């Protein structure tokens, strides 16, 4: 026997409606896509931060994702397939997130007034999450489209050229701040919502969770800023040879006969 609710609409229509499970299912989907994206970003940070180990390390990670060590040669379109998957999950998560955003200025003002009155940490955290989520609609989409359409332009020099000479660093800086705050708060809210790590004293576990959350966010922000600084440094040093690809270990790039700001001669065959 289905439970029913009587609802009186504004125009006075009395209607019997089925209690929908859809909102709960959408919440579950939002949690699942959020969890996937947060864990993906931890892995992503490890891959792009490989530049801190060295150019060869980042080159190796890049070639790994192009399938070079599995298939004996590189297929950059493999990266596009992964990006397409991440982009789909990113869009689904964003669409589900929009359900919770204030949909009018009046709602926004009411929420802000509530937040100021409550001075409740988790309510303020939610506002930061909504704000950073909104920012990533734009910042994340630009990055993902560049990765989707140019998977063959990833590498120690290619990425550094994009960050410095391609002026991607301001976007990456804002995106880094947005994704680390959003992801950190998101994982914390997931843990609270689904009762993970709750233990016998929920209030104490929640306080501990919050410390862990800020610790992880601080660590990832520091690592991300160091990584961005590394790409900027390489990009600055390489600013006169934009477009030249990084030669793997054991192969030296042809000397730049002009030694000038003019772009370098196309790389010899076998140099990627």
Nearer to ligand HEM, 147 or 242 (CB): 147
The pair of three-digit structure tokens given for residue 60, joined into one six-digit string:
């190796």
Minimal distance, residue 28 CB to ligand HEM, in Å: 21
Nearest residue to ligand HEM by CB is 159
| Cβ contact 242:266 at 8 Å | no
- Is position 90 an interface residue for ligand HEM (rule: CB under 6 A)? yes
Per-residue binder mask for ligand HEM (CB under 6 A), 224-243, x = binder: x--xx--x------------
Minimum CB separation of residue 127 from ligand HEM in Å reads 19
**Contact indicator for 112, 104 with CB cutoff of 8 Å:** no
Pick out residues in 116-145 that bind ligand HEM (CB under 6 A): 136, 140, 143-144
Residue 52 touching ligand HEM (CB under 6 A): no
Cβ 66 to ligand HEM, closest distance in Å?
11
- Which residue among 33, 50, 159, 217 contacts ligand HEM (CB under 6 A)? 159
Closest CA to 192 of 204, 175, 179: 204
In the complex with ligand HEM, the residue whose CB is nearer, 125 or 159, is 159
Under the phi-then-psi rule, with left for phi > 0, alpha for psi from -120 to 50, and beta for the rest, what region is 33? alpha
Residue 168 contacts ligand HEM per CB under 6 A: yes
The verdict on 272 binding ligand HEM (CB under 6 A) reads no
Binding site for ligand HEM (CB under 6 A): 44, 48, 79, 82-83, 86, 90, 136, 140, 143-144, 147, 154, 159, 162-163, 168, 172, 175-176, 179, 224, 227-228, 231
């Amino acid at each position: 026997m289905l439970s029913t609710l009587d609802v009186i609409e504004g125009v006075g229509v009395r209607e019997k409606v089925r209690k929908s499970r859809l909102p709960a299912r959408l919440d579950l989907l939002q949690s699942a896509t959020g969890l996937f994206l947060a864990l993906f970003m931890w892995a992503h940070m490890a891959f792009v931060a490989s530049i801190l180990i060295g150019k060869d390390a980042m080159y190796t990670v890049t070639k790994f994702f192009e399938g070079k060590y599995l298939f004996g040669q590189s297929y950059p379109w493999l990266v596009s397939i992964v990006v397409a998957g991440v982009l789909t999950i990113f869009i689904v998560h964003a669409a589900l997130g929009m359900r919770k955003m204030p949909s009018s200025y009046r709602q926004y003002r009411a929420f802000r007034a509530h937040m100021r009155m409550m001075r409740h940490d988790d309510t303020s955290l939610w506002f930061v999450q909504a704000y950073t989520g909104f920012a990533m609609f734009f910042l994340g989409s630009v990055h993902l489209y560049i990765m989707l359409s140019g998977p063959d332009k990833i590498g120690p020099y290619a990425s550094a050229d994009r960050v410095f000479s391609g002026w991607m660093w301001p976007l990456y800086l804002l995106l880094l701040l947005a994704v680390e705050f959003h992801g950190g708060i998101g994982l914390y809210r997931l843990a609270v919502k689904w009762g993970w790590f709750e233990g016998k004293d929920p209030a104490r576990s929640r306080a501990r969770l919050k410390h862990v959350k800020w610790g992880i966010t601080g660590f990832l922000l520091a690592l991300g800023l160091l990584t961005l600084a590394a790409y900027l440094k390489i990009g600055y040093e390489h600013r006169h040879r934009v477009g030249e690809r990084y030669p793997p270990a054991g192969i030296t790039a042809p000397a730049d006969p002009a030694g000038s700001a003019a772009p370098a001669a196309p790389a010899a065959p076998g140099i990627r």
